[in-house]
Structure 1
């Protein structure tokens, strides 16, 4: 899709739950990079820039708070983080980018003040790398390519050092899981879509009932509930479910199940199968009796996984490694080397299914499928 065919993503249009969307830290950092490059390469001070979103079909118009020369070779630009109506520790923070030419011909990323550095495995970035996730990195590279495309051909092979920071980021990070994850020095630069969807609100919980009833409508006999984007491809391509038969439930599994039971009771019918597809970082928390999986309401899920591993006879040292992992993803990486890993995940899927089924007795069968962040099945073969 050419740049001319892109459509603006208008943040003034409310989300389906009536709440305002926002810009991710990744979108803010990308806007700062683009504004800095416009001044560095074009001597243009932009009051706002267009940021291409990861879907390639839309862009955001992002206001620039400030942009200035640091010296003859580098520029700093700042963007105020706008989180919309979603509770967000970084809402209102100043995200900045300092951009300098380098002689490598490559885009290199560095952690500035207030952005953390990964110190433990299992994250989306390597140990020692700044905590700037893969999608924001792609967005920043895309922004650089767009600015370079406006200039002379010889400019297009230029390299730049991008130092991304957040004012007061170290203090903000203490309110998040970053210290537990082994990210030191500040926040993470996140976002998979570039847009903050306002999900963690009471009104969003109420809207889930609407989505559940739509999914169950017309006598549907199979629906899928997805805590996040992981599992969406499985629901569509493997289960063959149309979009209206899937529900993005965010952290609110318990509420979604209660709404399901209520709707089925009202209709006086049963549902053949309810699918749950997603990452064990959310779904495995059910094994601890957690039905609202938001990080502010529950602990991380490594303990659940370790407990099942111990019950299945895994070596004590391995169980401790799983329990002490900084993320479930890190535990998954460690388990890949174990011959009993798939059977472990199948058991966890089964146990989750049993507990969920007890909450929705009007459902004949609950099927759970767990995936890693790349969409690879962990337990039952997809």
Structure 2
């Protein structure tokens, strides 16, 4: 099992930011393939295997949690996904591979239970192919080459994930046209604990998918789930045109302007849908609305209320509210509350519009936690 000339990549060494690295679904699938091949071809059972990383100077030791004959011709191996300290929907999932010989003389990839299949063009795999990205495929091909002595022998590699179809519902796979489960991903084989960077990078992809072709005239940005029903039922937007942006409003707007500039076109209307606890922070100049990067929005609501002539005692109550939701509840039966929220929506829209001049019109709608509209109808 020694990797001649290669150096072990030690996951016990923390990343520069002090967080623990992990192994990608691609590394896990490759380890499962390699362990299964050792048993299938040589009768060898390993509790861990060495996976050659795309950076050919390194290998990764990956534990194998289960290895068995699935049927008389097929071996199944299972590996636990460990994403380190990076928040990941697949962390703790069981990735498995079922390996058997074929008579085709080539390596064929199949989607097992819990791994998706591509149904739309524009992804890194062709329509109808299992959602196993190019780098993990190459890693598995390398693993086969390391174990198989008969270079003319072909193998069927079926890669799956226990409960992968359920896990995939928490990802963007359904809206990207990947159905049936998760994707097998990874460009380095190592999960770097850079969730902020990966989140932002993914938002750029989803913004570009949402903009689509030149006949798209409206897109919605949603900091969270609130507003999703409005986008679907009131605006009748397809799912891929309602982009979840988390706290990264400023980045999402920059990506949108850049994409529109590249396409040399305008977008008729940009909708911004969500809770004022996030979106009202824009009036304080906060374009990253994470609580670690911005103050809570009660003072913003109070300030606008004061400017609109609400009495000073009510303004003080709004300032001292524990949450924006509490401020919303206090305003619920006040005359002029709807006009206040409409004013906040319009102020947010004006500031957002300044960042995306390629958008003809920006519309903001604010909702409470129950999804009820606060301002404009």
TM-score range, shorter chain: 0.5 to 0.7
CA distance in 1, matches of 2:193, 2:173: 21
Give 1:309 deviation, angstroms. Answer: 7.8
Measured at CA, do residues 295 and 125 of structure 1 come closer, stay the same or move farther in structure 2, by a change above 3 Å?
Answer: farther
Q: Write out per-residue CA displacement over residues 34-84 of structure 1, whole angstroms, 9 at most, x where no aligned residue.
A: 000000000011100000000101000000010100122110000000000
Task: Select the residue among 163, 166, 183 that pairs with 1:168.
Answer: 163
CA distance in 2, matches of 1:192, 1:295: 23
Measured at CA, do residues 45 and 173 of structure 1 come closer, stay the same or move farther in structure 2, by a change above 3 Å?
Answer: same
CA distance in 2, matches of 1:250, 1:355: 23
Q: Give the corresponding residue for 1:22.
A: 22
Deviates more, 1:304-313 or 1:188-197: 304-313
Measured at CA, do residues 186 and 290 of structure 1 come closer, stay the same or move farther in structure 2, by a change above 3 Å?
Answer: closer
Residues 251, 294 of structure 1: 8 Å contact kept: no
Q: Give the corresponding residue for 1:191.
A: 186
Measured at CA, do residues 187 and 86 of structure 1 come closer, stay the same or move farther in structure 2, by a change above 3 Å?
Answer: same
Q: Normalization by structure 2: what TM-score?
A: 0.57
Q: Give the corresponding residue for 1:36.
A: 36
Q: Give the corresponding residue for 2:265.
A: 312
Measured at CA, do residues 294 and 79 of structure 1 come closer, stay the same or move farther in structure 2, by a change above 3 Å?
Answer: farther
Q: Normalization by structure 1: what TM-score?
A: 0.56
Measured at CA, do residues 11 and 129 of structure 1 come closer, stay the same or move farther in structure 2, by a change above 3 Å?
Answer: same
Count of equivalent residues: 242
Measured at CA, do residues 189 and 112 of structure 1 come closer, stay the same or move farther in structure 2, by a change above 3 Å?
Answer: same
- 1:161-240 superposed matches below 5 A: 161-200=156-195
Q: Give the corresponding residue for 1:281.
A: 205
Q: Write out per-residue CA displacement over residues 221-276 of structure 1, whole angstroms, 9 at most, x where no aligned residue.
A: xxxxxxxxxxxxxxxxxxxxxxxxxxxx65569xxxxxxxxxxxxxxxxxxxxxxx
Residues 105, 159 of structure 1: 8 Å contact kept: yes
Q: Compute the RMSD of aligned alpha carbons.
A: 3.8
Measured at CA, do residues 168 and 303 of structure 1 come closer, stay the same or move farther in structure 2, by a change above 3 Å?
Answer: same
Measured at CA, do residues 296 and 186 of structure 1 come closer, stay the same or move farther in structure 2, by a change above 3 Å?
Answer: farther
Q: Write out per-residue CA displacement over residues 279-322 of structure 1, whole angstroms, 9 at most, x where no aligned residue.
A: 9538979x99999x9954469889667765887379x9xx9xxx
Residues 109, 162 of structure 1: 8 Å contact kept: yes
* Max Rg structure: 2
Q: Secondary structure at the match of 1:4?
A: coil
CA distance in 2, matches of 1:44, 1:295: 47
Measured at CA, do residues 48 and 311 of structure 1 come closer, stay the same or move farther in structure 2, by a change above 3 Å?
Answer: closer
CA distance in 1, matches of 2:188, 2:37: 23
Q: Give the corresponding residue for 1:113.
A: 113
Q: Secondary structure at the match of 1:124?
A: coil
Q: Write out per-residue CA displacement over residues 113-137 of structure 1, whole angstroms, 9 at most, x where no aligned residue.
A: 0000000001000000000000000
CA distance in 1, matches of 2:116, 2:245: 19
Residues 251, 282 of structure 1: 8 Å contact kept: no
Residues 45, 67 of structure 1: 8 Å contact kept: yes
Measured at CA, do residues 185 and 196 of structure 1 come closer, stay the same or move farther in structure 2, by a change above 3 Å?
Answer: same
Q: Secondary structure at the match of 2:4?
A: helix
| Structure 1 unpaired stretches of 5+ | 202-248, 254-277, 320-353, 357-382
Q: Give the corresponding residue for 1:135.
A: 135
Q: Secondary structure at the match of 1:61?
A: strand
CA distance in 2, matches of 1:306, 1:77: 43
Measured at CA, do residues 129 and 298 of structure 1 come closer, stay the same or move farther in structure 2, by a change above 3 Å?
Answer: farther
Q: Secondary structure at the match of 1:101?
A: strand
Matched, 1:64 2:17: no
Residues 222, 246 of structure 2: 8 Å contact kept: no
